[in-house]
Amino acid sequence: MKRLLLICLSVCTFTIYAQEYPRKEINIRNFIQDIVGNPDGGVNEDLFESLYQNYLNPIDLNNVSREQLASVYVLSEKQLNSFFQYRQKAGNLLSIYELQAIPDFDLPTIYKLIPFVAVKADGLSFGSLTDGFDGSNQYLLLRYAQILETKKGFTEPTSTSKVRYEGSPLKLYARYKMFSQKDFSLGFTLEKDEGESQLTDFKSFHLQFQNKGHWKNITLGDYQLQLGQGLISSAGFYIGKGSETVLTTRRNQLGIRPYTSTLENNFFRGAAATYQLGRFDITGFYSRLRRDGNIVIDKATNLEYASSLQTSGLHRTPSEIEDKGSLLEEDFGTDITFKNKDNSLQIGFTALQTNFDKKIQKADKDYNKYEFAGTQNTLLGLHYNYNYQNLSFFGEVARSSSGGLGAVSGVLGSLGKKTDFSVLFRNYDRDFHSFYANGFSENSRNINERGFYLGAKHAFTKQWSVSGYFDYFHFPWYRYLVDKLPTSGFDYLGRITYQPKKTLQIFFQFRQENKEENTKITETYIDKGKEKTREITVVRDRTRRVFVANLDYKISKIWNIQTRASYSTYKFDGQDFTQGFAIAQDVNADLGKWSFSSRLAFFKTDDYDNRQYFYEQDVLYAFSFPAYYQHGVRHYLMAQYKISKNIDAWVRWARTDLFDGDTFSSGLEEIPLSHRSEVKVQMRLHF
């Protein structure tokens, strides 16, 4: 009776606050700002795809594991402990409102968590494989997008420029999915990129069953695997370094996940299954698919080999089409993970073997000396996770066929209610080869790197909080465009957030990164008694600083505004610095059936090194994180209309105008105008 009374009071309180904090769907813009911040490079589309998958497939709080709940990157270690202690003591949650009754949970945290979780009365399903079809949901998503101006790639060839795109400028996308939140998922994805000639240039399909007795997961078609800390196989929503300085340093064991992204690499195609045997989860998987590769004929042996793997997924020109599916890849392996009685200890063994039908041999360059070469790679690894009070110890070590080792080890914890921290060490040998890895690192791949990371967050009051990290990294061997060894650097970030009320948030953020990189300088020399100059390449320390200020204010239930400004500098030792600046004003409105998002942005940068990245609102499942650079303005307007209970429609128009120059972009992407416009139209039918 006391518990029911507490839940009733929580419902009343939650409802009152919800009038100020409406959440019809996830505010992906704010979530990305809190987790990702301002990236220095392009952001992987699969990252946002995974985020939306978490949103559209909410976790059942009555059956969720610690790894699944931690993977949302909302709850601290102390809050995770509080949740599972509460559930163990009180039993299954009766309502989502009961979250307010859990110690260490507050309303801001609950509102961040709600889009990703649900409370379901029924538990695991032990029926047949076809039971999941009952009560299933379905939706069909159709999208059209196009750049309105004509790019060079779509013009008639000339005697000096003959290469052109083979297809039309239309970008088309279709997705169908049928699923039961209980235990079943089936779907396919079709996509044609701009310039491609085939309407279904990329095709993806999956069929998944979950929780069928001892079979925890059976997946056919396209899938990914999130195992350990991602040194052998990685998937799911993961950032590494970002504005969230603590929670995102650790990866969580999520196992098999259906693949539904349009990125045409980093996934498996075949079958995978997980069987629960006592306290062991045993996963087996097999994959066979064709990958894009740049095929070259060895003049000495007349044999074909791949000089590189192509990952763009674009098949527009004759050379890109020739590379499509030119390399056959076969993968198989297993993961065996043990969990103790209270799930505080998790230890796993992983094995993965990859075979190619043609040898991979990269160009003969110093930085490629220890890169993978051959047709086969085997990875063996151990991963662990141990929870002790408010501390979580985690790590993984793996070895590739070359003998190279990869290792990551860290601890994440809470020091009371107001302070959280994380510490992480990593070491990836220069000859550690793992094609599906995405562990914590400074490089884009887990190779040739050692580092130490320290992150922390502290809430002074309910209104004021600070966060930051420091990361030191060292590269023992040469890197691309770095003609020196060894090299090293460091990176740190600080952020202060002020939220005086639930409808207003202000934050300031500063980040600095120091690295050693190639740069060109002018050298004076004497030739035949005359003084001359020449340009040479040297390696020097490079410093990049980025300042960000943001204000987000919900004026009413209808109107929300956001103002965001970013300024950066880029400087090599002994040279003048360059700089860049951007400011954007967003206005959003929710009018019930109609909702609108708009932006006007001004930017000015000295060079591409000072490009500014701002996330833009886009249609469902589409992600826009463009680089603002050069000198100009960008604006967009997006409208969403709920045509009926089962039909939603989106229209988005965006345009960039450059003040300097008469052309936009270069190469086959060049537009002989100083502006570029894009339109997107999307419809979703759900039933």
What single string gives the DSSP state of each residue in 554-610? E-SSSEEEEEEEEEEEEEETTS--EEEEEEEEEEEEEETTEEEEEEEEEEEESSGGG
Please check the confidence at residue 208 and state whether its pLDDT lies above 50. Answer: yes
In a domain, 583, yes or no: yes
Tokens, residue 634: 């960008």
Q: Does the residue 616 lie in any domain?
A: yes
Q: Bigger pLDDT: 181 or 227?
A: 227
Q: Averaged over 368-397, what is the pLDDT? A: 95
Please say which residue of 158, 178, 210 terminates a domain: 210
Alpha-carbon span 319 to 327, nearest angstrom: 15
CB 493 within 8 A of CB 455: no
Q: Which residues does 102 contact at the CB level (< 8 Å), separation at least 6?
A: 82, 83, 86
Distance CA 218, CA 210 (A): 6
pLDDT of residue 408 exceeding 90, the answer is: yes
Quote the pLDDT of residue 54: 66
Given 210, 242, 266, the domain boundary residue is 210
- What is the rounded distance in angstroms from the CA atom of residue 370 to the CA atom of residue 24? 51
Please indicate whether residue 306 or residue 183 has the higher confidence score (pLDDT). Answer: 306
Q: How many CA atoms lie within 13 A of 455 on its CB side?
A: 24
Query: Given this model, what pLDDT does residue 223 score?
Result: 95
Has residue 515 been placed in a domain? no
Q: Is the pLDDT of residue 433 over 80?
A: yes
Query: Per-residue confidence at 28, pLDDT binned at 50, 70, 90?
Result: low
Residue 593 placed within a domain = yes
Most confident of 26-35, 95-104, 599-608: 599-608
Expressed as residue numbers, the domain containing 673 is 555-687
More confident residue, 625 or 356: 356
User: Residue 618: pLDDT above 70?
Assistant: yes
- Residue 160 near residue 171 (C-beta atoms within 8 A): no
Does position 10 have pLDDT exceeding 70, yes or no? no
pLDDT for residue 23: 39
Radius of gyration of the chain (CA): 26
Q: How confident is the model at residue 262 (pLDDT cuts 50, 70, 90)?
A: confident
Q: Closest Cα partner for 652 from 665, 668, 641, 667?
A: 641
pLDDT confidence bin for 167, thresholds 50/70/90? very high
Strand segments (E) across 374-503: 374-388, 391-400, 405-414, 419-428, 449-459, 464-475, 487-501
The pTM of the full predicted model, rounded to 2 decimals, is: 0.88
Q: Which of 146, 175, 210 is the last residue of a domain?
A: 210
Decide if 572 is inside a domain: yes
- Domain contains 440: no
| pLDDT, averaged across the chain | 88
pLDDT at 12 over 80: no
139, part of any domain: yes
- The tally of domains found in the chain comes to 2
Selection from 678, 670, 242 nearest residue 469 by Cα = 242
pLDDT digits over 274-319, tens only?
A: 999 999 999 999 999 999 999 999 888 888 999 999 988 999 999 9
In this prediction, residue 16 has a pLDDT band, given cuts at 50, 70 and 90, of: very low
Instruction: Please check the confidence at residue 19 and state whether its pLDDT lies above 70.
Output: no
Q: Phi/psi zone of residue 266: left (φ > 0), alpha (ψ -120 to 50 degrees), beta?
A: left
Of the pLDDT bands very low, low, confident and very high (cuts 50, 70, 90), residue 49 is low
pLDDT at residue number 396:
97
Mean per-residue pLDDT for 514-534? 89
pLDDT of amino acid 106: 82
The token pair at 442 is 């400074």
The model's confidence at residue 52, banded by pLDDT at 50, 70 and 90, is: low
CB count within 10 Å of CB 308 equals 17
Angle 188-194-196 from CA coordinates, rounded to 5°: 75
Measured at the alpha carbon of residue 36, what is the angle toward residues 595 and 77, in degrees to the nearest 5? 110
Whether residue 149 is contained in a domain is answered as yes
User: Residue 233 to residues 239, 260, 449: CA-CA distances in angstroms?
Assistant: 15, 17, 18
